[in-house]
Chain A
């Protein structure tokens, strides 16, 4: 029973729990066993909190007996290790936070606790969410469950791999330039990046504050909708979170997409796109048309500038966001000859190479004499990119594209050239710059058996049409599979 339980999706577990067929404790044990059994192969977990999970599972069983059930009560949710958890080590996959035990819960974590979810542990990632391959973790890379030689994508690589490998049914990731969608694509799962402001960032350790957004990573669209319903909503502790009515994304998954207007951006089907991916994505679009959607070409003319804009804005914000890691209050400390030397030695030893590279780039972009040429110009081009989407979404409801131009690559393949690594995010970055919702879901496999992701994007706060379209596609196809580990 226990190994079968881990094959269940979140909503399937819900039915089993509600029907009294299994207990939350049994569910928690099954997934903890699975972690125990296979995590040494994929390194998705940085911290396993078995005691906490079992304690929460017992409380969940009590709630179920008392009839106080919420959709996620008793269901394990893995947390990317940049979500602040009271009393549970939160490292951001960085040496500098190696021993950091937060004295508070972030809003999303508090919401999940309150909903009776179970936390089996904290998930590996690229250090401070900076990376596209999860090779930048201070605690070792994550392996792709489909092929251990390959990367799971990043920065939410631990979240994607843990869900794909059935170590958890549900996980949370965060997406700044594609950090949910790219690993979801590489690992063959569903990952949703909500509209900026939809989900509170309070308690999300910031990489780039104007771009970061927490989102679900799950085995299917229905689970993604369930998790999104549980975590979104206005938070008075996050000034940038947006006042919206309560959502019921899960309830809106009708399967009917007749009349949904699908846009295909010509700038996303250019040289460099893996032909296998192009074919899979085009087939997927044809499938959506077959299901009743209307398809037309759209243009997002400033796409080619997105990576440049992103690497200026995100690194500038990061250089400031990471200034607080200074050896005084909660980081590790390496003592130097004086205070400034202590700062420098602590930060030099505490941060990994990619993090330092981005801090350097961002510091440079903001420094005297360069602000207008870099930061402000990037903000202005950001306006153009947002306008591209606004224009396109006058014509269509959902834009479909590949999530990434390639399938998961091999470990070490791109680490020597940071710019090449940055460019691999070209299809996911524009959406963050425009603050819009998007998702990635499986739409095929390469000849080598690696998953291919289809990206769907929508206008602001239109997660409903996004999830509905994805759900219809998922129902009509069979790409949601489990790797044989």
Chain B
């Protein structure tokens, strides 16, 4: 499985990462060799084998619909890079027209 530079760029954009052209090169080659390696899973006959999402066969964990104490506004914002008016300030999101 060879992964192209364009694919690396697309994946980087999906993952909100940014790379230099040199890094893109390196990633393309490293990811290609890792993906080549994982191709070995294709050797196996998986007919009738169910995927495992959870190792233990447990189901249904719930909580009751009861309010529990959370964080104060100060605690919520204590690590924020740009707190303002009790909120997290971010650059404007472009939407619509």
Give the interface of A toward B (CB within 8 A). Answer: 99-101, 103-104, 196-197, 210, 236, 239-240, 242, 302, 304-305, 307-309, 311-312, 319, 323, 326-333, 335-336, 338-340, 342-345, 347-348, 351, 356-357, 359-361, 363-364, 367, 374, 376-384, 386, 418-419, 422, 433-435, 460
B67 at the interface (CB under 8 A from A): no
B22 at the interface (CB under 8 A from A): no
Complex: how many Å from CA A242 to CA B27? 39
Query: Which residue of B12, B41, B54, B88 is within 8 Å of A329 (Cβ)?
Result: B88
Q: What are the residues of chain B within 8 A of A345 when measuring CB–CB?
A: 18
Q: What are the residues of chain B within 8 A of A104 when measuring CB–CB?
A: 71
Complex: how many Å from CA A319 to CA B81? 23
Binary contact track B16-47/A, C-beta < 8 Å → 1, others 0? 11110000000100110111011011101010
Check B94–A338 contact: CB distance below 8 A. yes
Q: A344-B16, A360-B8, A360-B12 are in contact. Are A418 and B30 (CB under 8 A)?
A: yes
* 22 A-B pairs (CB sep. < 8 Å): A103-B71, A104-B71, A196-B56, A197-B58, A240-B58, A328-B90, A329-B76, A339-B91, A347-B16, A347-B18, A360-B11, A360-B17, A361-B34, A364-B7, A367-B14, A380-B51, A381-B41, A381-B44, A382-B52, A386-B55, A419-B37, A422-B34
Query: Which residue of A100, A363, A377 is within 8 Å of B15 (Cβ)?
Result: A363
Query: Which residue of B17, B41, B55, B94 is within 8 Å of A348 (Cβ)?
Result: B17
Query: Which residue of A101, A210, A307 is within 8 Å of B78 (Cβ)?
Result: A101
Q: What are the residues of chain A within 8 A of B58 when measuring CB–CB?
A: 197, 240, 242
Complex: how many Å from CA A116 to CA B15? 42
B97 at the interface (CB under 8 A from A): no
Check B38–A374 contact: CB distance below 8 A. yes
Bin the interface of chain B by size. Answer: 35 or more
Query: Which residue of B19, B46, B78 is within 8 Å of A380 (Cβ)?
Result: B46
Check B33–A419 contact: CB distance below 8 A. yes
Q: What are the residues of chain B within 8 A of A340 when measuring CB–CB?
A: 16
Q: What are the residues of chain B within 8 A of A240 when measuring CB–CB?
A: 54, 58, 61
Check B55–A210 contact: CB distance below 8 A. yes
Check A380–B81 contact: CB distance below 8 A. no
- Closest CB-CB distance, B68 to chain A, in whole Å? 10
Complex: how many Å from CA A103 to CA B73? 11
- Closest CB-CB distance, A272 to chain B, in whole Å? 15
Complex: how many Å from CA A419 to CA B71? 42
- Closest CB-CB distance, A159 to chain B, in whole Å? 24
Q: Which residue of A lies closest to B94 (CB)?
A: A338
Check B80–A329 contact: CB distance below 8 A. yes
- Closest CB-CB distance, A47 to chain B, in whole Å? 15
Q: Which residue of A lies closest to B46 (CB)?
A: A380
Q: What are the residues of chain B within 8 A of A380 when measuring CB–CB?
A: 46, 49-52
Query: Which residue of A210, A326, A419, A433 is within 8 Å of B16 (Cβ)?
Result: A326
Q: Which residue of B lies closest to A434 (CB)?
A: B55
Check B40–A308 contact: CB distance below 8 A. yes
Complex: how many Å from CA A104 to CA B3? 42
Complex: how many Å from CA A343 to CA B20? 16
Q: A330-B80, A374-B38 are in contact. Are A344 and B17 (CB under 8 A)?
A: yes
Query: Which residue of B40, B46, B81 is within 8 Å of A327 (Cβ)?
Result: B81
Q: Which residue of B lies closest to A336 (CB)?
A: B91
Closest 7 CB pairs of A and B: A435-B55, A379-B51, A330-B79, A239-B61, A333-B81, A103-B75, A344-B18
Check B88–A377 contact: CB distance below 8 A. no
Check B79–A367 contact: CB distance below 8 A. no
Given A330-B80, A331-B79, 6 more pairs with CB closer than 8 A: A104-B71, A319-B15, A347-B18, A360-B17, A360-B27, A376-B51
Q: A308-B37, A338-B91, A364-B3 are in contact. Are A383 and B78 (CB under 8 A)?
A: no
